């Protein structure tokens, strides 16, 4: 039940990000109101790859493997970013809905030494995604005024 609830919350976040992506045009991608922070395009790319990246890290991927992962999922268009986000979310659901209770409590360690159970990794993915979703929402509001997409 807890897995379904967390994934439901993540699905609401993914849905709202997909709606935000639909509001973005090519000229918006380079909008960066704060120097040294992500542009709209960089943030959408990060949101699109984040779920898959965190799943790789949860599975024990090394730093070298993650560098290859990020290179391999670099998108060239908003359509590709949406597709990657949908694919990664689908794979997360498949993975977690097929896990046994015993697997959810198994711990794995990131390449930088952080150790979580698989359930904790799911929570981390939700929090991480929600954090960047709020950043994207803020940038779009700055660029386009009220975008009329609710976060909660």
Query: Residue 80 belongs to a domain with what CATH number?
Result: 1.20.120.450
pLDDT for the residue numbered 1: 74
Cα 134 to Cα 45: distance, rounded to the nearest angstrom? 15
Overall number of domains in the chain: 1
Q: What is the mean pLDDT of residues 92-96?
A: 98
* Domain assignment of residue 130, yes or no: yes
User: Is residue 109 in some structural domain?
Assistant: yes
Rounded-to-integer distance, Cα 23 and Cα 140, Å: 9
Phi, psi of 114 (to 5 degrees): -80, 130
Q: How many CA atoms are closer than 13 Å to the CA of 13, on its beta-carbon side?
A: 24
Domain span at residue 17 reads: 2-21+38-144
Q: Average per-residue pLDDT in the chain?
A: 97
Distance CA 91, CA 143 (A): 32
133-149 average pLDDT score: 96
Angle value at C-alpha 146, between 145 and 151, nearest 5 degrees: 130
Residue range 62-80, pLDDT digits in tens:
999 999 999 999 999 999 9
Cβ proximity of 28 and 143 under 8 Å:
yes
C-beta separation of 29 from 41 below 8 A: yes
What's the whole-number mean pLDDT along residues 42-68? 98
pTM: 0.95
- Could you tell me if residue 28 is inside a domain? no
Q: Please answer whether residues 41 and 30 qualify as being in contact, where contact means their C-beta atoms are separated by less than 8 angstroms.
A: yes
pLDDT in tens, 110-136: 999 999 999 999 999 999 999 999 999
């Amino acid at each position: 039940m807890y897995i379904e609830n967390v994934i439901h919350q993540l699905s609401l976040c993914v849905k709202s990000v997909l709606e935000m992506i639909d509001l973005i045009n090519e000229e918006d991608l380079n909008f960066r109101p704060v120097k040294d922070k992500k542009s709209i395009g960089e943030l959408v790319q990060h949101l699109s790859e984040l779920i898959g990246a965190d799943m790789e890290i949860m599975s024990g991927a090394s730093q070298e493997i993650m560098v290859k992962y990020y290179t391999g999922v670099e998108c060239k268009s908003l359509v590709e970013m949406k597709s990657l986000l949908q694919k990664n979310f689908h794979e997360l659901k498949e993975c977690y809905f097929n896990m046994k209770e015993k697997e959810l409590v198994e711990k794995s360690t990131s390449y930088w030494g952080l150790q979580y159970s698989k359930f904790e990794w799911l929570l981390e993915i939700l929090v991480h995604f929600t954090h960047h979703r709020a950043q994207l929402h803020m940038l779009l509001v700055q660029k386009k005024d009220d975008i009329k997409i609710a976060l909660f």
